[in-house]
Structure 1
Amino acid sequence: MKKENHTVVSEFVLQGFSSLHEYQLTLFIVFLALYILTLSGNVIIVTIIGLDHHLHTPMYFFLSMLSASETVYTLVVIPRMLSNLVGLNEPISLGGCATQMFFFITLAINNCFLLTAMGYDRYVAICNPLRYSVIMNKRMCIQLVWGACGTGLTVAVTQVSAVFRLPFCASEVAHFFCDIRPVMKLSCIDTTVNEILTLIISVLVILVPMSLIFITYIFIISTILKIASAEGRKKAFATCASHITVVIVHYGCASIAYLKPKSENTKDEDQLISVTYTVITPLLNPVVYTLRNKEVREALCRAIGKKLS
């Protein structure tokens, strides 16, 4: 939509998947099914970890926090996307758009740093097992979780304040939720400063945690390779496999979305990338940690057995 300098908007319209009009019902069914699976999987993980005392360890404490965060993360984006797909494309106020962006940024960054905390937990467990219970005590775990949440809140306040200080002259957001770049494109003025701020924040909250995880896994792999028995090496690798799978997909999608040049992809390509980290990645967490994690599967079987008995 062409920007007009004399127009001041008070609400936005999310275009969503308007270019795929003939497929919107199909997309609605697919995304609804994935959303239900995501909610169910994450709720089951949080419940199982809370009820089963065998899983009351730092590793599963972080996993339950990640699952809870992913649940709220999807609630922020997907319900409005689904309503748009069935024609309920109501405008969203500037305040509503700012609120959605705030919670999206907070939870996305929180997830990044929770994955980093999980990597540190694996590092201590494998590289310093004798001091694991001393280092990864309850206080340390809570501090890491609050640190992740606090970082997300701080960055979200900074980013949202910078974006919504801009004057907007167009009202149609070429996206299915209020993401940073699509909203900034509606501004009447040059957004170079905001683009630089967004890039700096993206580098700090994506590359820094990803680098820390990479470094921890260098030490982890080095330690595992020193284990004498093949069975011991296999067991040690198994404890990290689920985490590293989620890390690769999560940070890979985030890097493509926020570290690439802004004009590199088309609108449809940008939306496809966004679907990956708003719909697919949250589902990956419960799938990976239930199918690949023996302890979670056993806890789920115990819970089902108690219910049946």
Structure 2
Amino acid sequence: MGASNETLITGFILIGLSKHPRAQTVFFGFLLVAYLISLFGNGLIIILSIADPQLHTPMYFFLCALSFIDLILTSNTVPEVLVNCFIHRPTISFSRCLAQMYIGLLLISTECVLLAIMAYDRFAAICQPLHYMQIMSWRFCIFLVAGSVALAFFITLITVVLRPTDFCGQHTINHFVCELESFLKLACSDTHISEIFMHLSSLFILIPPFSFIVVTYGRIGLAVLRMRSTQGRRKAFSTCSSHLAVVSIFYGTIMIMYLKPQEKCVSDKEKVISVAYGALTPMLNPLIYSLRNRDVKGAFWKLVRRKMSK
């Protein structure tokens, strides 16, 4: 079959774990639990961050933004993947495939930068507490979040412009969702420029923020070790360990996927790894930040008592 114009393509067939029915059943159960926890946890953090005046600080402003991103990120793909677990040959329309792919790219790129911003916020709070509110003013915080979204949007826009326009009749995507690497493998047209940009943008959006986080937490660690107060040292380590746990899982899985040499086909292991940053991290974010944070737990019980007293 010859190359066909993109306007003739109505959709793609998605291959998840259809060849492994038992694994697919376990995968469905895990994904359902992860999605429900993510939906409830991130939604609760957003509500608490808005409703409780004590949480109107830069730290919880960034946490609220992170929860909002994770909420959209999981809702962009997970419900569809759950439904597809019961369909023998799941399909996705061409327009929905593009939307799913580019929305995911926009959100993941934004989160990469946002996690670095949150590291800087912790650095300012621990290493320069007397000047914290001057450094992290509300105008500056909004500028940082808006800047991260603008940068991610710019990268996504270029990716859209460079996307392939012709396909060779192979309309099967070897993944649970529409993912850029798998999508490019279906093109008939030359994808050399698209692949080069994908690798360069991955390096740009992953390495500098991750390196910044490592250096920042190195400086935070030195500052914490110089603290005389045992309680202050313990509180600082508790706050920073939450962020580091999220960072290690999120960046680790994405680096495995996008900074390794690209192969001709996507393995089942790589498809499962992609679930880690698409579903596992959004689930862990609210658990880590809420279970290890007195302010969030206090705001939650305050909200519960307020609702029960009505």
Shorter chain as normaliser: what TM range? over 0.9
Contact 2:164 2:189 in 1 (8 A): no
5+ residue gaps, structure 2, are none
5+ residue gaps, structure 1, are none
Give me the whole-angstrom Cα distance separating, in 2, the residues matched to 1:240 and 1:282: 18
Comparing 85-94 with 30-39, which one deviates more in the overlay?
85-94
Partner of 1:63: 63
In the alignment, structure 1 residue 44 sits paired with structure 2 residue 44: yes
Comparing 21-30 with 243-252, which one deviates more in the overlay?
21-30
- Measured against aligned partners, the alpha-carbon deviations of 1:212-261 in whole angstroms (never above 9, x if no partner) come to 11121122112111112222211221221211111111111111111111
Comparing 40-49 with 227-236, which one deviates more in the overlay?
227-236
Alignment of 1:256-295 (within 5 A): 256-263=256-263, 267-295=267-295
Partner of 1:198: 198
User: Aligned letter for 1:171?
Assistant: H
Partner of 2:165: 165
In the alignment, structure 1 residue 233 sits paired with structure 2 residue 233: yes
Q: Give the SS at the match of 1:74.
A: helix
Give me the whole-angstrom Cα distance separating, in 2, the residues matched to 1:166 and 1:119: 42
Shift of 1:18: 1.6
Alignment of 1:295-306 (within 5 A): 295-306=295-306
- Alpha-carbon spacing, 1:54–1:16, altered in 2? closer, same or farther (3 Å): same
- Alpha-carbon spacing, 1:153–1:145, altered in 2? closer, same or farther (3 Å): same
In the alignment, structure 1 residue 31 sits paired with structure 2 residue 31: yes
Shift of 1:96: 1.8
- Measured against aligned partners, the alpha-carbon deviations of 1:122-152 in whole angstroms (never above 9, x if no partner) come to 1111111111111111101100110111111
Q: Give the SS at the match of 1:12.
A: strand
**Identity across matched positions, percent:** 36
- Measured against aligned partners, the alpha-carbon deviations of 1:190-211 in whole angstroms (never above 9, x if no partner) come to 4333222111000000111111
Partner of 1:73: 73
Give me the whole-angstrom Cα distance separating, in 2, the residues matched to 1:164 and 1:187: 6
Give me the whole-angstrom Cα distance separating, in 2, the residues matched to 1:152 and 1:166: 26
Give me the whole-angstrom Cα distance separating, in 1, the residues matched to 2:108 and 2:48: 24
Partner of 2:116: 116
Give me the whole-angstrom Cα distance separating, in 2, the residues matched to 1:236 and 1:22: 44
Q: Give the SS at the match of 1:227.
A: coil
Q: Give the SS at the match of 1:245.
A: helix
- Alpha-carbon spacing, 1:24–1:218, altered in 2? closer, same or farther (3 Å): closer
Partner of 1:219: 219
Give me the whole-angstrom Cα distance separating, in 1, the residues matched to 2:253 and 2:277: 6
Contact 2:114 2:148 in 1 (8 A): yes
Contact 1:12 1:92 in 2 (8 A): yes
Contact 2:164 2:191 in 1 (8 A): no
Shift of 1:88: 7.4
Give me the whole-angstrom Cα distance separating, in 2, the residues matched to 1:142 and 1:19: 47
User: Aligned letter for 1:150?
Assistant: A
* TM-score where L is the length of structure 2: 0.93
Contact 1:163 1:180 in 2 (8 A): no
Comparing 299-308 with 113-122, which one deviates more in the overlay?
299-308
Give me the whole-angstrom Cα distance separating, in 1, the residues matched to 2:99 and 2:177: 11
Contact 1:253 1:273 in 2 (8 A): yes
Shift of 1:120: 0.8
Contact 1:7 1:170 in 2 (8 A): no
Alignment of 1:46-195 (within 5 A): 46-87=46-87, 89-195=89-195
Partner of 1:210: 210
Comparing 256-265 with 232-241, which one deviates more in the overlay?
256-265
